[in-house]
Amino acid sequence: MTAENVNTRILFLKEKENNFKRRSFKTSKTVRGKQDPNISDLQITWPKIVEYAGLSEYEAKVYLSLIGLGSSRARKLSINCKVPRTKVYGTLKKLIEYGLVIEIPGVPKCFTPISPLNAFGSTVKRNLNKALDFSQILESLTDTHETSMKEASPQQKTLWYIDSDDDIIGKFHEIVSQAKETLEVVASADGLTLFFNSAPNLLDQMQNIGVDVRIFSPLDPKANPLARELSYLFDVRKVDISSPLLFVDSDHKSFILAKVTDINGDDPLEAAVFSDDENLLSILHLITSSLMNGQDSGAAPKIEMRT
């Protein structure tokens, strides 16, 4: 073989070697790229492991990396979980003490994780038992609280306030429609007119289903057309009401009380309150009960409220 042929052969072999190295490098990079996404997904959960299991940030990251890798040496762990290599060995030692990691004999050292279910299953069960126990305590405390509040005085009651005219009228219709047995309406002259005009057939519907409707207003059924028309179907009583109000009591279970302004204006109802608290209603029911039962034969009962 001539010198020229020898040189050509050497160049050929060097080129083959370089090509092989380049191919090997690309293959290695591809393999690492396939592992990284899984490890990254696991690492997202490390704050929860810190919160729930009580591990430090480094301990959680190293343990999660081992879960993704199956087993690994310290150097590879450091690269995958981005924990400094100087901290990895100390972190692994702690995880071994906690019973979360096992050291595989050999040189260099290799580490593998304990099953997460075995590692944290007892913690989950313990916390579930605590939650169940606390739930039972809360239930007992709630029962005691409700009993004591019924006997305590004074008590807080819920009273809802409305200042939109449309909402007030809609709430009146809702409370009237809920009546099953009795419906009591106490209203000034303008209040009764407004109530009837807003839903002229609503009271008829209540009467048709057997609701006992009672109306108290200053309008005399003998002289006023509206009161006379209503008296054909309902118990209508003339009372002295000087305050501009409209009050509806539905089955003694819910009520609404509104202040009437100008019925010819854009907002005839200025404001209203309503509630389904039976204790509040029992007090307000004194208004209608006095009208029904406390009348003198020669004088009309009188309602006068400051507004």
* pLDDT score, position 257: 92
pTM attached to this predicted model = 0.52
170, 171, 174, 176 alpha-carbon torsion, rounded to 10°: -110
Q: Which of 86, 118, 150 corresponds to the end of one domain?
A: 118
Among 66, 92, 118, identify where a domain stops.
Answer: 118
> In angstroms, rounded to a whole number, what is the distance separating the alpha carbons of residues 16 and 149?
91
Do 171 and 272 touch, CB atoms closer than 8 A?
yes
CA distance 193 to 177: 18
Are 177 and 74 in the same domain?
Answer: no
Residue 134 predicted with pLDDT over 50 = yes
Which residue among 118, 141, 172 closes a domain? Answer: 118
Beta-strand (E) ranges in 119-244?
Answer: 160-162, 182-187, 212-217, 235-238, 240-241
Whether residue 134 lies inside any domain: the answer is: no
Q: Is residue 191 part of a domain?
A: yes
Predicted pLDDT at 209: 92
209 in a structural domain: yes
* Distance separating alpha carbons of residues 124 and 117, to the nearest angstrom: 9
Q: What domain range is 291 assigned to?
A: 160-303
Average pLDDT over residues 74-86: 84
Q: Could you tell me how many residues make up the chain?
A: 307
Count of domains observed in the chain: 2
pLDDT > 80? residue 297: no
At 14-26, the pLDDT tens digits run: 555 555 444 443 3
